[in-house]
Structures are given as C-alpha cells and as structure tokens.
Amino acid sequence: MSTPGNDRPPRWVRATHWIHAASFFTLLASGWQIYAADPFWVPAFPDWATLGGSLPGALQWHFAAMWLFVANGLVAVTTLVASGRLRRLYLSVSWAGFQADVARFVRHPFDHGDGGRNAVQKLAYLGVLVVLALEVASGLSLWKPVQFQALSALLGGYEMTRRLHFAGMATLACFVVGHVALALASPQLLLPMLGLRRKAREETR
Amino acid sequence: MNRPPVDEAAALRRLSRELQARGLRLDRRAWLRLSVAGGASALLAGCNVTDTDGLQQVLRRISRFNDGAQAALLRPGLRAPEYSAAQLTKPFRFNAFYSEASVPEVDEASWRLEVGGRVQHADAWTLPQLRALPVVTEITRLICIEGWSAVGQWTGVPLSHFLRRIGADLSARYVAFRCVDGYYTSIDMESAMHPQTLLAHGFAGADRLPDEFGFPLRLRIPIKLGFKNPKHLVGIAVTNEFSSGYWEDLHGYNWFGGL
C-alpha cells in the first residue's frame, strides 16, 4: 500500500463487506419484527424499522438471510486468514501502541494518521468478529435447540440464549451506528469501499 | 416504495456536487452503484416487502429448502432435554388461534379418533381404548414459534407404538392430523417415530388433558415447535401426500418446524 488513502480495498473485501451489510440489515430488521411476537426487555421496535410485515413474513426473511450471512461470513473469514490480511491489519496490536492510539483518539477522533488502522480500530474490529461468531452460535442454537442441545446448554439454555442473541444484536447495532457515522464523516475511507477511486488533488497538482 | 424516483436522483446530484467540492468525482459506474444501493435501501425501508408476489415466491421456496435442511439435521435417536418436576412452568401458557374462552369442549362419550390412510386397521378409537395402551411420561420444553417457551409434563402413548399397532406403512412420508376445531397439520415420518413423540392424554400428573391444552388427545412432539403439536385430535392419517398445515397454509409458517 504505497498511498493508503487512495487505494481501494481488494475486490473480495468490498464484495464480502457489502453482502455482509445487506444480509446484516435484513437479519436486523426481520429480527426486530420477530421480537415483537414475544418481547422481553424493550417493548417493541418501530414498524418502519422492521421487515416482513408480521411474524410469518419476518421468519421467512430471517431464515433466508441467515444462509447468505453465514456463507458470506465463512468466505470472508477464510480469506481474511488465508490472505494474511487478518494478521497484517488486525492482529498487530501492542499495549504501548494501544495506549498511544487511545490518547490520540480522545484528542482527535477523526485523525486517521497515515491511513493505517490504529490499535483502537483493530481491537474494535476483532471484538466485532467475536460478537458476530457468538451471534451465529446463539442463532443456530435458537433455531435448533434440540439438535444442537450441547451448544444450547453451553449458552445457558434456550431462554438465556434468546437474551444472548438479543444482547449480541444490540452490541452489533451499536457498532454499526459508530461505524457508519465514522464512515460518513470520512469519505476518503467510504468511497474506496464503494469501489470508487478518489481523484486525489495531490496527483493533479 | 412507490415514491417517484425524482427525489432520489436529486439527492444523488446534491451528494455528487458535495463530493466534487471535496475533491471527489463520481463516474458513471459509481452513479450506477449508488443508485443500486439507494434502491435497495428504499426497498427495505420499513414497508411490507413480503406482499410483493415475486419476493413472496422466492421466500417460500427458501422455506421449502429449509424443510429439507432441517430433515437433514434431524438425528432420529437424539432425545430432547428432559427436566425435573421443580422446573415445570406454572401456570402453563395457553396458546391457540382463538382465545381461551373459545376452547372447544369435547364430549368424551361420543368422541372418536379416526385412523386412516396407509394403515392395516382403519378403526375409530375411544379414549378408554387409547388409555389402555402403554404410556410414557415426560417433562419437556414446549417452544412456541413466537419465541416463548414453557416446561410441561405430558403422559401418553408413543406415536411410534400406536403407528405399529394400527399397521401403518412406516415407509410412508407423512402423518397428518385433524382437530375438532378445524386445525390441521402434518409431520414427517421420521419425527413421528421419534421416541419422545406422544399421543398425549395426560398433563401435569393428571390422567386427563385440561380442555385448554387439548382434551381428550393431542400430539406432543418435543422435537418440533408448538404449532406442530395439534390439540383436540379427531383424525390421524398415514400418507405419501403432502398436506401442509393450518398456519403454513394461512401465513407461510415453515412446514417442518423442527427444533
């Protein structure tokens, strides 16, 4: 990466990112509709934010999108590991670097330095990978609490797993709010992910 | 969804101007991508997309695919977890497609369970005859498609025993159930033969089902969702013809409903 700000992420990163985004929002909106059938923590989510119209339609969406979500996730994680991208960009965190980057982030939240990922970002993305894995595991055990009863027991049983699945959703939704806000505030990062090349002023000058 | 596309185009033009001001330029391919992304988000925003016929068909086809996936995942010998008496949910939760006030009251003397389809003995059974068959008692979790669950204790004859007793063709694909209230559903033969699948006539230690939980006879199948546990049974048929079920036909619930 000679000029990090101008380079687009590899094609497979862009493809898996946007397939993930589409299937994630489908699962989120249909999940909010499914939740309305038997709410436990918050009363319900606003209609405009839900998908499926009612429980049966929402279940159809949820159990259709899960295949795309999991298949795409497997491709993404496999490629992340095999290409060395995970190790190079995300697993390279040091405690000193973390402290320095937290301090810098607090002072200048939108300063991206040389365009590489700082320690806070690395940990955030690694954390999200872990929550995503938990969300898939809890979802699998809610879908098949008898066939995957060992997993269900590990997660604290059926009723506990419902709450874990909700908590994972809430965590991911909060991450997405921050992620989208930062992306919109930093077009130099958003546009390459959309596959667009930035016409950098430095080049034309 | 039916908004004129003009607003969207205007918004994109504004965005483009703004981006240009920041030193960015959108080419034609970029425009196309942004339009597709915008169209997709407009499509998904809050409206009842499932009403669209084409989408509905795709979703139903995936649901049928999920039937097959669940049949493949089903391990016939694997028992659903069982619980202790201390873990029973009290009071047990009522659920039906009508309110508790409309629960049918069945006259035991005139009630019969009609058996038909691919069986050698197509008889009608009385409740005392069914009670005379060997019974199993199990405490299992009933999980509703709405998400809630409740632990209950059911007593009844294993459906596998009953199917053998009536000389059912065990190579048939489905067992279909009819109920006194017009409800109906069907299950795959493999799930019907599961050791915990019962024709239940007792609940919570009593040798009688309460009216609201399906008197005089119900299917209790802990490896499937609650709506695959029909109450107030009046008919059982062994068949190779797919006959779906009440909620499946009415609203598109997934047929297999496995757990």
Q: What is the pLDDT of residue B15?
A: 54
Q: What is the pLDDT of residue A204?
A: 40
Of residues A195, A54, A53, the one with CA closest to residue B145: A54
Residue from A27, A45, A47, A146 to probe the interface with B (highest B Cβ count within 10 Å): A146
d(CA B36, CA B50): 20
Contacts of B148 in chain A (CB under 8 A): 38
Residue A6 pLDDT > 80, yes or no?
A: no
pLDDT in tens, B195-241: 999 999 999 999 999 999 999 999 999 999 999 999 999 999 999 99
Q: What is the pLDDT of residue A101?
A: 81
Contacts of A21 in chain B (CB under 8 A): none
* A27 contact partners, CB below 8 Å, separation of at least 6: A62, A65, A66, A69
d(CA B22, CA A191): 12
Contacts of A53 in chain B (CB under 8 A): 48-51
The shortest CB-CB distance from A34 to any of B62, B147, B254 is to: B147
* CB spacing of B44 vs A29 below 8 angstroms: yes
State whether residue A44 sits within 8 Å of chain B by CB: no
Q: What is the pLDDT of residue A115?
A: 59
Q: CA-based angle B29:B35:B37, to the nearest 5?
A: 105
Most confident of A89-93, B16-20, B140-144: B140-144
Of residues B226, B244, B259, the one with CA closest to residue B97: B226
* CB spacing of B258 vs A57 below 8 angstroms: no
pLDDT in tens, B90-145: 999 998 888 888 888 999 999 999 999 999 999 999 999 999 999 999 999 999 99
State whether residue B51 sits within 8 Å of chain A by CB: yes
* CB spacing of B48 vs A144 below 8 angstroms: no
Q: What is the pLDDT of residue B191?
A: 97
Q: What is the pLDDT of residue B49?
A: 52
* CB spacing of B259 vs A198 below 8 angstroms: no
Of residues B17, B142, B165, B45, the one with CA closest to residue B87: B142
Contacts of A149 in chain B (CB under 8 A): 78, 80-81
Contacts of A202 in chain B (CB under 8 A): none
Residue from A25, A38, A60 to probe the interface with B (highest B Cβ count within 10 Å): A60
Helix/strand/coil for A1: coil
- Which tokens belong to A57? 């339609």
Mean per-residue pLDDT, A132-159: 97
State whether residue A156 sits within 8 Å of chain B by CB: no
Residue A2 pLDDT > 50, yes or no?
A: no
Contacts of A22 in chain B (CB under 8 A): 40
Least confident of A148-157, B34-43, B161-170: B34-43
Helices and strands (H, E) in chain A, number of each type: 9, 0
- Which tokens belong to B133? 């068959």
Contacts of A201 in chain B (CB under 8 A): 23
What percent of chain B has a predicted confidence (pLDDT) above 70? 80
* CB spacing of A55 vs B146 below 8 angstroms: yes
What sign for the dihedral angle of Cα A79, A82, A83, A84? positive
In this prediction the pTM is 0.82
SS3 for chain B is: CCCCCHHHHHHHHHHHHHHHHCCCCCCHHHHHHHHHHHHHHHHHCCCCHHHCHHHHHHHHHHHHHHHHHHHHHCCCCCCCCCCCHHHCCCCCCCCCCCCHHHCCCCCCCCCCEEEEECECCCCEECHHHHHCCCCEEEEEEEECCCCCEEEEEEEEEEHHHHHHHCCECCCCCEEEEEECCCCEEEEEHHHHCCCCCEEEEEECCECCCCHHHCCCCEEECCCECHHHCCCCEEEEEEECCCCCCHHHHHHCCCCCCEC
pLDDT in tens, A154-172: 999 999 999 999 999 999 9
d(CA A60, CA A52): 8
* CB spacing of A198 vs B24 below 8 angstroms: yes
